[in-house]
Amino acid sequence: ENNDLDRVPGPPKWPIIGSALMFLGLPPSQMFDLVVELPKKYGNRVVITMLNRYILNIYDVEDIEIVLSHSRNIKKNKPYDFLEPWLGTGLIVSTGSKWHRRRKILTPTFHFDILKSFMKVFEEKTKNLVVDLRRGISEGSGVVDVMPFISDFTLYTICETAMGIRLDSDKSEATVKYKQAIMDIGELVMKRLTTIWLRNDFIFSLHPTGKKFAKCLESVHSFADNVIIERKKSYEKDGEISSSTSKRRLALLDLLLEAERKGEIDLEGIREEVNNFMFAGHDTTATALTFGLMLLADHEDVQERILEECTSILGDSDRSPNMSELGEMKYLEAVIKEILRLYPSGPFIGRKITEDFMLGDIKIKKGCEVVVHIYEMQRREDLYPEPEVFRPERFLDGESRHPYAYVPFSAGLRNCIGQRFAKLEMKMAICEIIRNFRLGPMKKGARPALKADLVLRPNESIFVKFVER
């Protein structure tokens, strides 16, 4: 049968296995480089085939707009299946009416007033981060491997805002196990994704990676279940959320329990969503902040402008900014935009097409997969002059740009539900770090190789010099 995708360029295809050979056994960083090379070699639309799969890769802003703004092609593609044992069919993986229902239940969770109530958590966790960094600095003679510090910070923050649990101060065995499992599980999923034979359920279940994955799942699920059951008990007892234990900080879980009472979701569904938010809200912001500190360390002028802006808004006071003050920080906002332009935490996202549609002059048929390459698009010379240069000013000088030229949080119906949460958290963290420290690079202009992971990651540790202000 005639398929327009057969006319689209791409790497050599062999019978049956298609282009799979070129990816086989590649370490993650080489895989990432290979993907980045594809449009340079084949143009703005590249087709890869694999067994019976057709995967169209797109890099052009107009194509990306058509795909992301499509109101019915909202199903995720194949690789997301491997997240299912962990995330179920929660908001990230679900589709169709289930996705619509869940999105409706969860949207109010990111309402302005609820985000405002999270500010206390952001503030407290940021203060702890500064203290931890100070310890790291003295242990490392001024040099810090930033990712582990930032990763703890974002994990503690999402955990407390989503479930009301303090992972940082709770040293009980279940909590320690949970933290470790959450840290390990993404890596194990990634290993499975990149190792062809581990994709088979039976082989995976017998392999050490699969066994470790099963253990992690057990810890994650039993921890989440306990939190939910406890919360439900006190919810039922009080008829409302007891403010003494929650301090009104359990917004996500509150809303979900409320929805359960109305019969809109069951306990299994609540567990799914708790897991979805613990995942989506942790690594994404951790990796963005880590790349951000690397870029800031290289640009002292940008640090100075951030500091000037903080001082002009907060004066001599050393208190943390509140939500409206963070809103006034337009330069910091541009800094965060520029960080996420260069290092979007989700470098590419995929769809499985459920309804034929036209992508310009080619017909995309039901069953094929489309991968939107956010990372490469946001580094296109025609959209961003000197694309590799970190220059927050490009978001301040009124340059006009295609509305889909900047989509680190995706766009359309399946955009990131947590984007305002993420921006507030990042703003608070960068603001407080810059107020306390002057950052410097280990080697000016050095950029780590990147690797394809569940989120974009550096292939090696990122070290930054910290000097107390």
Cβ–Cβ under 8 Å, residues 54 and 35: no
User: DSSP string spanning 116-151?
Assistant: HHHHHHHHHHHHHHHHHHHHHHHHTTTEEEHHHHHH
Instruction: Give the three-state DSSP class for 56.
Output: strand
Q: From CA 62, how far away is CA 382, in angstroms rounded?
A: 13
Q: From CA 449, how far away is CA 291, in angstroms rounded?
A: 12
| 285 contacts ligand HEM (rule: CB under 6 A) | yes
Instruction: Quote the DSSP letter at residue 94.
Output: -
Residue nearest to ligand HEM (CB): 418
- Segment near ligand HEM (CB under 6 A), from 24-32, 306-314, 418-426, 427-435? 418-426
Cβ–Cβ under 8 Å, residues 146 and 439: no
- Residue 328: alpha-carbon gap to chain centroid: 25
- Segment near ligand HEM (CB under 6 A), from 46-54, 181-189, 239-247, 342-350? 342-350
Closer by beta carbon to ligand HEM, 276 or else 378? 276
| 288 contacts ligand HEM (rule: CB under 6 A) | yes
Cβ–Cβ under 8 Å, residues 346 and 279: no
- Segment near ligand HEM (CB under 6 A), from 56-64, 219-227, 307-315, 344-352? 344-352
Q: From CA 334, how far away is CA 268, in angstroms rounded?
A: 40
Convert residues 139-178 into a mask of x (bound to ligand HEM by CB under 6 A) and - (unbound). Answer: -------------------x--------------------
Per CB under 6 A, which of residues 394..413 are in contact with ligand HEM? 408-410
| 126 contacts ligand HEM (rule: CB under 6 A) | no
- Given the DSSP bridges, would you call strands 463-468 and 450-451 parallel, antiparallel or unpaired? unpaired
Closer by beta carbon to ligand HEM, 89 or else 345? 345
Q: Which of 133, 250, 280, 326 lies at the binding interface for ligand HEM (CB under 6 A)?
A: 280
| 91 contacts ligand HEM (rule: CB under 6 A) | yes
Residue type (1 letter), 240: E
Binding residues with ligand HEM: total (CB under 6 A): 26
| 292 contacts ligand HEM (rule: CB under 6 A) | no
- Given the DSSP bridges, would you call strands 463-468 and 53-58 parallel, antiparallel or unpaired? unpaired
Taking the CB of residue 412, how many other CB atoms lie within 10 A of it? Answer: 16
Per CB under 6 A, which of residues 64..83 are in contact with ligand HEM? 76
Please list, in sequence order, all residues whose beta carbon lies within 8 angstroms of the beta carbon of residue 77, skipping any fewer than 6 positions away: 55, 350, 351, 352, 369, 370, 371
Per-residue tokens: 219: 């810890």
Closer by beta carbon to ligand HEM, 35 or else 288? 288
| 29 contacts ligand HEM (rule: CB under 6 A) | no
Convert residues 96-115 into a mask of x (bound to ligand HEM by CB under 6 A) and - (unbound). Answer: -------x------------
Taking the CB of residue 111, how many other CB atoms lie within 10 A of it? Answer: 13
| 186 contacts ligand HEM (rule: CB under 6 A) | no
- Segment near ligand HEM (CB under 6 A), from 51-59, 174-182, 340-348, 437-445? 340-348
Closer by beta carbon to ligand HEM, 28 or else 408? 408
Instruction: Quote the DSSP letter at residue 199.
Output: G
216 labelled ligand-binding: no
| 57 contacts ligand HEM (rule: CB under 6 A) | no
- Given the DSSP bridges, would you call strands 369-373 and 53-58 parallel, antiparallel or unpaired? parallel
Q: From CA 142, how far away is CA 137, in angstroms rounded?
A: 4
Closer by beta carbon to ligand HEM, 250 or else 314? 250
Closer by beta carbon to ligand HEM, 5 or else 288? 288
Closer by beta carbon to ligand HEM, 38 or else 74? 74
Q: Which residues pair with 58 in a beta bridge?
A: 45, 372
Q: Which of 414, 427, 451, 457 lies at the binding interface for ligand HEM (CB under 6 A)?
A: 414
- Segment near ligand HEM (CB under 6 A), from 43-51, 120-128, 209-217, 280-288? 280-288
Q: Whole-number minimum distance, CB 385 to ligand HEM, in Å?
A: 23
| 417 contacts ligand HEM (rule: CB under 6 A) | yes
Cβ–Cβ under 8 Å, residues 156 and 182: no
Instruction: Give the three-state DSSP class for 73.
Output: coil
Alpha-helical segments (H) within 45-111: 61-68, 84-87, 96-106
The residues binding ligand HEM (CB under 6 A) are 76, 91-92, 103, 158, 276-277, 280-281, 284-285, 288, 340, 344-346, 349, 408-410, 414, 416-418, 421-422
Which parts are annotated binding residues for heme?
Answer: 416
Which parts are annotated binding residues?
Answer: 416
